[in-house]
Amino acid sequence: MNKKFKLSYTVVLAILCVLLIIAFSIVNKNFFTYSYIMDMIKLTTEIGIMALPFTLLIIMGCTDFSACTILSMSACLGGIIAGYTRNPLLGLIVSLATGALCGAFNGFLVAYLELPPLITTLATMYLYKGIAEGMTLASGYGTNVAATKIAIFLGSGSVFKIPTQIYLLAIIAVILHIVLSKTIYGRTLYAIGLNAYATEYAGINVRKTKIFTYVLAGTVFAMAGQVLMGRFSTMQYDSADSYLMQIITACVLGGINMSGGRGNIGGTLLGVAVIGILKGGMNAALIPQTQQKIILGIVLLVSLVVFQLIAEHDLKVKGEARMKASAEEYASRQAEKAAENK
């Protein structure tokens, strides 16, 4: 029995990636070379790493506008500690712990004080940025903090000629995919995103789940900070400020519902891929930065329209299928009653 092919948003996004690669390869013959592809991946690795836990937050019906400042602050503090103690491992531990603590603070404000996630994390974004700036300037390092050996390995190293950050991105993506699709915790995130009050009423501790998710996100943001620091061999308190909109764009392109309750890791990775291919292709085509932003905005708007159309079509198909099943069930009951009367 042949199954009818279903044109999903994920399929459309995958087709778009292929078409973009073909188009930019025609414009510039060097676009589809191994070195250029590796360079494109390196430029979007931090965005990809950060977009993965951001996906969990959005599915849960939350967000974190302080993500980039957590990245910068944790990397700067870890680098400063490592510089003073000459201990790169201690610097890494401090960096990850800082990210986790920032996430815990955000989670406490959102879960226990029940403050709106968007406004709350917007406020903590300025808080963390101010702390990072003051801490960096007071450390005696100026505005730049030198990268540790571990950060350089994560951001600029390679294993079997493949950049280390690609392995890191793949490991985090696989782990979060399994967590989201195969565990009770993952299903709980979807439930909270759809209806937090009903989930709480069902006996699930929504507050603890939210705090844990923010802690997890903060830790991964800090890990992305190590990659960014290692790629540039230095870190500033505002190095990642331009990443926030790209992270949100990647999630939205990946079909994540900003209201919560819908999305997956695979979609987010495709969204990151579209951004990477677009940015790399437009650079290869020598398109000015101002025009690149316009093109990215148009692509995002078109993707939202396509996503909405496909979602409405799916609802219509499901509704028709339910009506058909109900009609068949009704007809079957009527036939049984007619047979009993005879």
Tell me the per-residue pLDDT of 294-340, one tens digit each, with 9 for 90 and over.
887 887 787 777 777 776 666 565 555 665 665 566 566 666 666 66
Please write down the HEC assignment for all residues of the chain.
CCCCCCCCHHHHHHHHHHHHHHHHHHHCCCCCCHHHHHHHHHHHHHHHHHHHHHHHHHHCCCCCCCHHHHHHHHHHHHHHHHHHHCCHHHHHHHHHHHHHHHHHHHHHHHHCCCCCHHHHHHHHHHHHHHHHHHHHHHCCCCCCEECCHHHHHHHHCEECCEEHHHHHHHHHHHHHHHHHHHCHHHHHHHHHHHCHHHHHHCCCCHHHHHHHHHHHHHHHHHHHHHHHHHHHCEECCCCCHHHHHHHHHHHHHCCCCCCCCCCCHHHHHHHHHHHHHHHHHHHHCCCCHHHHHHHHHHHHHHHHHHHHHHHHHHHHHHHHHHHHHHHHHHHHHHHHHHHHHC
Q: How confident is the model at residue 140 (pLDDT cuts 50, 70, 90)?
A: low
Here the tokens at position 285 are: 């085509």
Surface-to-core class of residue 110, CB atoms within 10 Å of its CB (0-12 exposed, 13-18 middle, 19+ buried): buried
Residue with structure tokens 């399994």? Answer: 178
Q: How confident is the model at residue 6 (pLDDT cuts 50, 70, 90)?
A: low
| Cα(101)–Cα(45) distance, integer angstroms | 23
Contact 296, 278 (CB under 8 A): yes
Strand partners, 163: 158
Residues 166-173, mean pLDDT to the nearest whole number: 94
Q: Is pLDDT above 50 for 230?
A: yes
Q: How confident is the model at residue 1 (pLDDT cuts 50, 70, 90)?
A: very low
Q: How far is CA 326 from the centre of its chain?
A: 40
Q: How confident is the model at residue 173 (pLDDT cuts 50, 70, 90)?
A: very high
Residues 131-148, mean pLDDT to the nearest whole number: 78
pLDDT tens string 195-220: 989 989 888 999 999 999 999 999 99
Predicted pLDDT of residue 189: 94
Predicted pLDDT of residue 253: 84
Residues 137-156, mean pLDDT to the nearest whole number: 80
State the virtual CA torsion across 253, 254, 259, 261 in degrees, nearest 10: 170
pLDDT tens string 244-256: 988 988 888 888 8
| Cα(342)–Cα(339) distance, integer angstroms | 5
Predicted pLDDT of residue 94: 95
Q: Is pLDDT above 70 for 149?
A: yes
**In the predicted model, what is the mean pLDDT of the chain?**
85
| Cα(121)–Cα(106) distance, integer angstroms | 7
Q: Tally the C-alpha atoms within 13 A of residue 101's C-alpha that lie toward its C-beta.
A: 10
- Cα-based angle 95, 97, 100 (whole degrees, multiple of 5): 115
Residues 181-208, mean pLDDT to the nearest whole number: 92
Q: Is pLDDT above 70 for 269?
A: yes
pLDDT tens string 270-291: 989 888 888 888 888 888 877 8
Strand partners, 162: 159
Query: Per mean pLDDT, which range of 65-79, 181-195, 202-216, 234-248 is the poorest?
Result: 234-248
Residues 160-166, mean pLDDT to the nearest whole number: 89
